[in-house]
């Protein structure tokens, strides 16, 4: 399942986040069971979004627990254009 992890942070935490991010990016960044799909950054607005794929929520929450002290985090289940068709069809049939 895909999740969009949206992170917002304050100016007070920028240095801690940059240092931590620089130290973990690479093969060991995510626990087993969490696969990076893509990552988006907006440093000027102190916002980021990470799209991950997981089979189980526990590894996702273990990874997020490493960041909750420096960022406000929202987790949203998401889908792609290719896999949203059944939802769209259901919405159209309810009109």
What does the domain layout of the chain look like in residue ranges? Answer: 2-93
Distance between CA 53 and CA 41 in Å, rounded? 18
User: What value does the mean pLDDT take over residues 58-82?
Assistant: 94
Contacts of 65 (CB under 8 A, 6+ apart): none
Q: Answer yes or no: is pLDDT of 27 > 80.
A: no
Contact between 47 and 6 under an 8 Å Cβ cutoff? The reply is: yes
81 or 40, higher pLDDT: 40
Secondary structure class of 2 (helix, strand, coil)? strand
Share of the chain above pLDDT 70, in %: 99
Alpha carbons 53 and 4: distance in angstroms, whole number: 9
Confidence of residue 25 (pLDDT cuts 50, 70, 90): confident
2-93: which CATH number, 3.30.450, 3.30.1300, 3.30.300, 3.30.70? 3.30.70
């Amino acid at each position: 399942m895909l999740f969009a992890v949206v992170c917002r942070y304050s100016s007070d935490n920028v240095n801690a986040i940059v240092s931590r991010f620089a130290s973990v990016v690479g093969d060991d960044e995510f626990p087993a069971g969490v696969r990076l799909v893509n990552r988006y950054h907006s440093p000027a607005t102190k916002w980021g979004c990470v799209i991950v794929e997981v089979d189980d929520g526990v590894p996702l929450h273990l990874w997020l627990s490493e960041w909750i002290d420096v960022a406000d985090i929202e987790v949203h289940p998401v889908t792609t254009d290719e896999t949203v068709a059944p939802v769209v069809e259901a919405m159209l049939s309810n009109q």
